[in-house]
Structure 1
Amino acid sequence: MTPQEQARSREERRRDTLARLADDKDSWVATTSPDGQPCLMPLSFAWDGAALLMCTRRTNPTARNLTPRGEVVVTLGHTRDVVHIEGAAEVVEGSALPTGSADAFAAKLRWDPRDRHPWVYLRITPRVVKAWREVNELKDRLIMNDGRWLD
């Protein structure tokens, strides 16, 4: 049996989470339909410093489920290095997304959906963020609450 690493401080978890948001490209996105049917889909993302930007077809369940409620859960990582994000999503037409955000999305993911009519952006603003690796980090996993990073 190997000894467990020491739990990271909240500041270390925040720093690690911000690095993951900047560097990672893929996530799992969970939504529910109006009748309660769950939907879990992998989507690529770009982080603009305040929100995750994703893209999907307007007709896909993920986009349909976000209208009008907009509640979403996004996770990054694997089971031993989790970033769990709860937030509000808005559906944004490609032409309505600010140029700088659309350019950053295209540069990071090497794909530009702005001119593809059936595609829409999802702008997800985190409200709650939790980060943990092992059981010793479960107790203090909350690093953002009500949209504000905790000290």
Structure 2
Amino acid sequence: MTITEPARHRKQRKQDVLDRLAKDDDLWVATASPGGEPCLVPLSFVWDRETILMCTRRTNPTARNLTPAGEARVSLGHTRDVVLIEGTAEPVEGSALATESADAFAAKLGGWDPRDRTSWVYLRLTPRTVKAWREENELPERELMRDGAWLA
């Protein structure tokens, strides 16, 4: 592997992660059923109140795996600019979602607003760990958040 850029400091990587969370539209969500069957799907999201807010049909495996609360891993970026976030996700009914959060979600998704659709449920993931790296030279300090606290 050829390293093409110098390693970023943790502070810069944290800012890059926050920029991606603010600007990216979609991420990959990995969950597992109680029996251990993996599920990996792309979902649109909004970074809202230091959490990741997503939405899916409540009958989809992702929603079932996270009900009433469950562990998930999400990923942004490609293989040369990885962001991995692990945390606990909880379902939030559209009627229980703060207006500001629902409005932010709808605005980011071009007006699509599922808060009145009973067949859909929001999922709010609270990050516990965040890791980010581009090349091998960033692996030693890839952990940016531990136990819900930023390290930079």
TM-score by length of 1: 0.96
Aligned mates of 1:31, 1:52 — CA distance in 2: 15
- The one-letter code sitting in structure 2 at the alignment partner of 1:149 is W
CA RMSD across the alignment: 1.2
Q: Aligned runs of 1:65-76 on 2, under 5 Å? A: 65-76=65-76
For residues 2-151 of structure 1, the aligned pairs below 5 Å read 4-110=4-110, 111-151=112-152
Deviations for 1:104-135, whole angstroms, at most 9, x for unmatched residues? 00001121101111000000010000000011
Instruction: Identify the range of structure 1 (64-73 vs 11-20) with the bigger mean alpha-carbon deviation.
Output: 64-73
Q: Distance in 1 between matches of 2:59 and 2:36?
A: 18
1:114 match: secondary structure:
helix
Deviation at 1:4, TM superposition (A): 2.3
How many residues in Structure 1 have an aligned counterpart in Structure 2?
A: 151
The 1:3/1:74 distance shift into structure 2, 3 A limit, reads: closer
Task: Extract unaligned runs of 5+ from structure 1.
Answer: none
TM superposition shift of 1:56:
0.1
Question: Could you say if the C-alpha distance between residues 3 and 28 of structure 1 is closer, same or farther in structure 2, counting changes exceeding 3 Å?
Answer: closer
What's the CA shift string for 1:80-100, capped at 9, x where partnerless? 001100001000101100000
